[in-house]
């Protein structure tokens, strides 16, 4: 995808297995700064994902149906090569906590070394999502926990399709009204 001159395009790369509201938060922040965001799903044969790459593309497209500033794509190989190919000058990554920092810092500096024209921008999600990860969503769902506020509705439906409709969902305890 090549953009007209003067338009900014950012790549948001990741596994998105599955996309969570933490990703959605970062994508919204990306759209507030850049004209377009490409959600780029890494095809990594070494990882054993829950959702195939094709399923993840379909899920994200459904979550962003009608949003013309979002594009969903897949890539393999070097991220900076992919970014260059699609005409992006920025890589967006989310920073949840200090624990993300070391790895992200290394990656950003390596990517800069590989291609100094491409800048990495870090964005912080709303506090409520700073503990959220795709891995945690999968674990909680498999154990019968509620993920409704943590993922787009299409993801909850696809998780139900994967694990079967009979899987019990444990509702959180009702808060007692304050007297
Ligand atoms: P990766 O395997 O590349 O980390 P992920 O799909 O887990 O792929 O994450 C993609 C990007 O989204 C990363 O920059 C990650 O830090 C960010 N991210 C993931 N979960 C959250 C969250 N809850 N809040 C903010 N950023 C997040």
Contacting residues for 3 by C-beta, under 8 A, at least 6 apart: 9, 35, 36, 87
Rounded to the nearest whole angstrom, what is the distance from the C-alpha of residue 65 to the centroid of ligand 1? 21
Whole-angstrom distance, CA of residue 73 vs CA of residue 75: 7
The pLDDT of residue 38 is 98
Whole-angstrom distance, CA of residue 133 vs CA of residue 66: 26
Q: Block means of pLDDT (10 residues each) for the chain, length 179 residues?
A: 72 98 98 98 91 97 97 98 97 92 96 98 95 95 93 97 65 61
Give the sheet arrangement for strand 70-75, strand by strand. 70-75, 36-42, 9-14, 90-94, 119-123
The pLDDT of residue 56 is 98
Q: The domain 9-163 belongs to what CATH superfamily?
A: HUPs (3.40.50.620)
Rounded to the nearest whole angstrom, what is the distance from the C-alpha of residue 18 to the centroid of ligand 1? 10
The pLDDT of residue 77 is 96
138 lines ligand 1 (CB under 6 A): no
18 touches 155 (CB < 8 A): yes
The pLDDT of residue 98 is 82
Rounded to the nearest whole angstrom, what is the distance from the C-alpha of residue 13 to the centroid of ligand 1? 8
DSSP state of 156: H
The pLDDT of residue 80 is 98
Domain parsing of the chain, residue ranges: 9-163
Q: Ligand 1, atom 8: nearest CA belongs to which residue?
A: 14
Other beta carbons within 10 Å of 146: 13
DSSP state of 170: P
DSSP state of 128: G
27 touches 60 (CB < 8 A): no
Range list of H helices, 7-78: 21-33, 53-63
The best mutation among 93, 95, 107, 124 to test binding of ligand 1, ranked by most ligand atoms within 8 Å of the C-beta, falls on 93
């Amino acid at each position: 995808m090549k953009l007209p001159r003067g338009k900014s395009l950012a790549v948001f790369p990741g596994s998105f297995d599955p996309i969570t509201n933490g990703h959605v938060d970062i994508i919204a922040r990306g759209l507030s700064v850049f004209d377009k965001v490409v959600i780029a799903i890494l095809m990594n044969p070494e990882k054993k994902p829950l959702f195939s790459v094709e399923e993840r593309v379909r899920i994200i497209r459904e979550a962003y149906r009608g949003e013309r500033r979002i594009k969903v794509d897949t890539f393999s190989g070097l991220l900076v090569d992919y970014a260059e190919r699609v005409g992006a000058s920025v890589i967006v990554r989310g920073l949840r906590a200090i624990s993300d920092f070391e790895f992200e810092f290394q990656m950003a500096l390596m990517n800069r070394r590989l291609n100094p024209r491409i800048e990495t921008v870090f964005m912080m999600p709303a506090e409520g999502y700073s503990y959220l990860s795709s891995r945690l969503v999968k674990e909680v769902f498999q154990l019968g926990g509620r993920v409704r506020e943590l993922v787009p509705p299409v993801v909850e439906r696809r998780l139900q399709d994967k694990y079967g409709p009979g899987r019990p969902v444990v509702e959180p305890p009702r808060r007692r009204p304050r007297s």
